[in-house]
Amino acid sequence: MSSKHGYSGYVANLLERLGAGVGDEVLVEKNGLQLRGFVMARYEFGEPGVLVLKLDNGYNVGVKIDPSTKVSKLSSAAVPAFKPPPPPQPSQNLPKVAIVNTGGTIASRIDYRTGGVKPALSASDLVSIVPEIAEIANVSAEILMQVVSENMTPKHWTTIAQRVNTLFNEGFDGIVITHGTDTMGYTAAALSFALQNPPVPVVLVGAQRSSDRPSSDAAKNLIAAVETAAKAPFAEVVVCMHGWHSDEEIFIHRGTRVVKFHTSSRGAFQSINATPIAVHTQRGIEIIDDRHHSRGWDSYRYHPNFDDRAMLVKFTPGMHPQTLEILAEKMNLRGLILEGTGLGHVASSFIPVLKRLTDSGMFVGMTSQCRFGRVNMNVYENGRDLLRAGVTPLDNMLAETALVKLMWVLGFLGEKAQLDEVRNLMARNLCGEIGGRTRPQPTFHGDELHGL
């Protein structure tokens, strides 16, 4: 099987007759339709008798092959080569931007052997295939790690934060971090807490389509990221990705407020319970939220450590309360973030367990599995009981950000942290992760307003 790249039976024989293999370009004619594409390797669970092609538009399609289907070979596999332009001439007048590559699709190419996408481009390749960035900044690029983003852990967050802190001290005007999109929101939140009020912008950027696909968003995103790092007046940790609605707009999201909101769309990222800080268009950077932190060293705080003895648990109907105790004990947890229902609820059967956990010194914070809005545990009896059981409401903080923040708070305060200290820090706004927008006038006590 594997020697035929996953093909068997009729299709394998056909390819052998044609002398065609993975990576070769073929023409398939069927029912009056013509399809031209590169033969891709076949994955395990596919329907038999299907030939997989990568089309010019970057999509893979599987074509059911039967004896009436005509297949002809057009050309042999050739690994596409990038022609690097001459290296850019450094200019004294341009800002200095460091690009730190950590992995992900923005630095990936199709592997024509397996049909999958693999990290392949070095950071300097990125610069050479997007020459526009040399006109924006004097760019210095490096590969810090090559980690697909679902494999990122709090240890990687620390490594990235340490490197960025060093680059701050080397005098760069902005830092760009290329990163896989899957967990980019989590890393952005982590760097927000690790590098609070940074002296210059820290811009995470990725791509939803690899850079050898015509529909790739890599170049546009990278240009916007470098321009943001070089010129933006705000100095925060941000995510710079295609906007939700329009490809002409690259949104610059606050790192503590952004999630990947679509599995495959180029406009996959969205700020939740907040607007993006700014938007990048052909006209440059337009500020949306002017309550941002500005460039400068004055209030910079660097604390790169995380403690991963914390978990996010999404409450669902039928979940057993002892689940939490088992996790707390077996995983040696110091804290727990709940994704409750609605305004921040779990079944009342959980309340005695939660009380025991908080009584034992464990932090339990409440967020909502509704993507939008804030928790308010004062409206219903169940919510009040949860407050009495020692659960801390986390307002409109994203569940993912709450988990990252908890890991940071536990790392920051260390082993001897008192529960009250953890609660105070978790409920306090450190870098735009909580509150905002729906706050009422200061005369009135805000936490009780539970409307829109």
Site residues for a second copy, 414-443, by CB under 8 A, read 440, 443
181 in active site: yes
Question: Under rule CB under 8 A, which residues in 66-95 are in contact with a second copy?
Answer: none
Q: Between the CA of residue 202 and those of 32, 40, 99, 190, what are the distances in Å? A: 53, 38, 10, 12
Alpha-carbon gap, residue 204 to 99, rounded angstroms: 10
Using CB under 8 A, which of 14, 18, 27, 379 touches a second copy?
379
Instruction: Establish if 2 lies at the interface with a second copy (CB under 8 A).
Output: no
Catalytic site residue from 102, 105, 178, 256: 105
Token readout for 135 is: 């006109």
Of these, 10, 12, 62, 295, which contacts a second copy (CB under 8 A)?
62
Q: Does 215 bind a second copy (CB under 8 A)?
A: yes
* Contact between 447 and a second copy per CB under 8 A: yes
Cα distance between residue 206 and residue 374, in whole Å = 29
75 near 56, Cβ under 8 Å? no
Binding of residue 61 to a second copy (CB under 8 A) = yes
User: At residue 323, what is the residue type?
Assistant: T
Asked if 182 is an active-site residue, the reply is: yes
Taking CB under 8 A as the criterion, which residues in 221-280 touch a second copy?
259-266, 268
Q: How far apart are CA 354 and CA 5, in angstroms?
A: 52
Q: Pairing mode, if any, of strands 174-178 and 202-205? A: parallel
- Residue from 3, 34, 45, 420 that binds a second copy (CB under 8 A)? 45
The answer to the question of residue 344 lying near a second copy (CB under 8 A) is yes
DSSP 443: T
Is 447 catalytic? The answer is no
Q: Interface residues for a second copy in 308-327 (CB under 8 A)?
A: 308, 310-320, 322-323, 326-327
User: Which of 121, 328, 346, 362 touches a second copy by CB under 8 A?
Assistant: 346
Q: Which amino acid is at 197?
A: N
- Count the site residues for a second copy by CB under 8 A: 107
Distance CA 269, CA 258 (A): 7
The one catalytic residue among 54, 96, 220, 260: 260
- Residue with Cβ nearer a second copy (317 or 414): 317
To a second copy, the closest distance from the beta carbon of 232 in angstroms equals 27
| CB 88, CB 124: distance < 8 Å | no
β-pairing, 138-143 vs 96-101, is parallel
Active site (annotated) includes residue 212 = no
Q: Which is nearer to a second copy, 256 or 376 (CB)?
A: 376
The packing angle between helices 351-359 and 381-388, to 10°, is: 20
Q: Please give the positions annotated as active site.
A: 105, 181-182, 260
